[in-house]
Amino acid sequence: MKVKQLAEQLGVPADTVRYYTRIGFIKPRKNSTNGYKAYSKQDQKRLDFIINARRLGFSIKDVKAILGEADKGLSSCPLVRTLIEKRLEETEAQFRHTLELRTKMQAAVEEWRFKPDRAPTSEMICHLIEDFSNQQSEE
DSSP 3: H
* Band (138; pLDDT cuts 50, 70, 90): low
Query: What ranges do the domains of the chain cover?
Result: 1-55, 60-139
Is the confidence at residue 137, as pLDDT, over 80? no
Check residue 110 and give its pLDDT: 94
Which amino acid is it at 95? F
63/85 Cα distance (integer angstroms): 15
Give the global pTM: 0.78
1-55 placed in CATH 2.60.40.10 = no
Q: What tens digit of pLDDT does each residue of 29-84 get?
A: 988 788 889 999 999 999 999 999 999 999 999 999 999 999 999 999 999 999 99
Higher-confidence position of 138 and 127: 127
Q: Enumerate residues 6+ apart whose C-beta is below 8 A from 62.
A: 53, 83, 87
- CA-to-CA separations, 132 to 89, 103, 109, 112, 114, in angstroms, rounded: 31, 13, 11, 9, 14
Check residue 132 and give its pLDDT: 85
